[in-house]
Amino acid sequence: MNRKDFIYQTAVGLAALSVGVSCTKQKGKSIPQFGPQSAEAKMGDIRALLLHLGSNMWCDYPTEMMGAPAPESAKTLDVKPEFSLVWPDEMWRKVTDRAAAAGVNMIVIDLGEGVFYPSHPELAVEGTWSVEKMQTEIKRLNSLGIEVVPKLNFSTTHNGWMGDYSHMVSSKPYYRMCEEVISDVVEIFGHPRFFHIGFDEERSSFQEGQDFQYICTRKGEYWWQDFLHIVREVEKHGSRPWMWCDFGWNSDEFYERCPKSVIQQNWFYDECHGGFDPETNTTSDAKILKAFKKLDDAGFDQVPCGTNWIGWGRRELGLDADDVIGKLVKFGRENISKEHLLGFMMGTWEIYAWPNMTREEHFQKIFEGIDLFEEAMK
């Protein structure tokens, strides 16, 4: 058996230990018929919670030429991928039940390595959810009145979940992989109304600041061609693309070239504590605040995202971020036209972005974020 076959079989075997029968499927086999989902959040009153099932959106990934299996090669990296899923099932249930009780009507699941892709079983890790497990969970969440939206992040800053394909950006194999996993996810989620495609923080300075050793970013036509290809691929399957709008912060061209069918998600966390008035905020955050109006004027539908995650500026000032989501909801309702404001999303950045905290404290921050979101949406 050659090395690639060994890695392939090992990935399937590891996943099968914890995800059950779907990991015995061979590449190319069909996904069980599923959907449509039985819950649908009301447009204009979307109350979405972002949860990350996978965690390999903030990592380097070892190249094959490092000469050892990925877990061993990863030891040399500063920002290491996870080779097992970090979400305990019991805690996932507690968080989602709490969300339902708080009036959340949509959960956006950032999948990464968290679900099994029949077209690419090599992307699975230990604990990856099977297709059947994901579909069972979608049904449960639907029964609680929660619509479930898949998210795959195609930003080069957040594509460690792609494994070796994260080193093939813009190539034919990369395009083929993207097309195949999009098709898998659409089928797994029952042809969902929306499909979040990420595309945030694609900046070399961000990757360098996070101590990535493999720096890869697109700009100009490379970015546009890859982005538009992903948009077309999602729309081909009948879902509506949804994206972080970072690219538009520094590009007036974005407001003209980006298809109006793409839902825009501007995220404002007031990290520098400059406030929510675009006229008086003189911090580096000001351009983000101004983007809300630019998106509205350009005719885009929006789902603004807030947080209780404490940004670097607030940390330096010794401040929490418990006020952010409430102020963002107020700002959005006052500054985005009703026809284009679809709702709001809470991103707590739960178990990945909170430094020097225990796992229990991480989850407590999720619960606190849900409570803050409930209060903000009253």
Query: What local confidence, expressed as pLDDT, does residue 199 receive?
Result: 98
In a domain, 309, yes or no: yes
In a domain, 370, yes or no: yes
Structure tokens at 5: 């076959």
Look up the domain containing 281 and give its range: 3-26+40-376
Which residues have a Cβ under 8 Å from the Cβ of 106 and sit 6 or more positions away? Answer: 41, 46, 47, 48, 49, 146, 147, 148, 149, 343, 345
Mean pLDDT of the chain: 91
Query: What local confidence, expressed as pLDDT, does residue 132 receive?
Result: 97
In a domain, 84, yes or no: yes
Q: For 265-289, what is each residue's pLDDT tens digit?
A: 999 999 999 999 999 999 999 999 9
In a domain, 31, yes or no: no
- Amino acid making up residue 223: W
Q: What is the average pLDDT across 228-257?
A: 97
Q: Is 81 left (phi over 0), alpha (psi -120 to 50) or beta?
A: beta
Query: What local confidence, expressed as pLDDT, does residue 2 receive?
Result: 40
In a domain, 34, yes or no: no
Q: Reply yes or no on whether the pLDDT at 243 is more than 90.
A: yes
Query: What local confidence, expressed as pLDDT, does residue 29 receive?
Result: 61
Structure tokens at 288: 């983000």
In a domain, 35, yes or no: no
Q: What is the CATH number of the domain that holds 227?
A: 3.20.20.80
- Tally of domains within the chain: 1
pTM: 0.92
In a domain, 281, yes or no: yes
Identify the CA nearest to 47 among candidates 347, 363, 276: 347
In a domain, 32, yes or no: no
Prior bond of 36 cis (ω within 30°): yes
Structure tokens at 175: 């395009």
Query: What local confidence, expressed as pLDDT, does residue 21 receive?
Result: 34
- Amino acid making up residue 292: F
Q: For 168-205, what is each residue's pLDDT tens digit?
A: 999 999 999 999 999 999 999 999 999 999 999 999 99
Query: What local confidence, expressed as pLDDT, does residue 27 receive?
Result: 60
Query: What local confidence, expressed as pLDDT, does residue 357 receive?
Result: 74
Query: What local confidence, expressed as pLDDT, does residue 354 receive?
Result: 57
* DSSP letter for each residue of 146-189: -EEEEE----TTS-GGGGGGGGSTTSHHHHHHHHHHHHHHHHHT
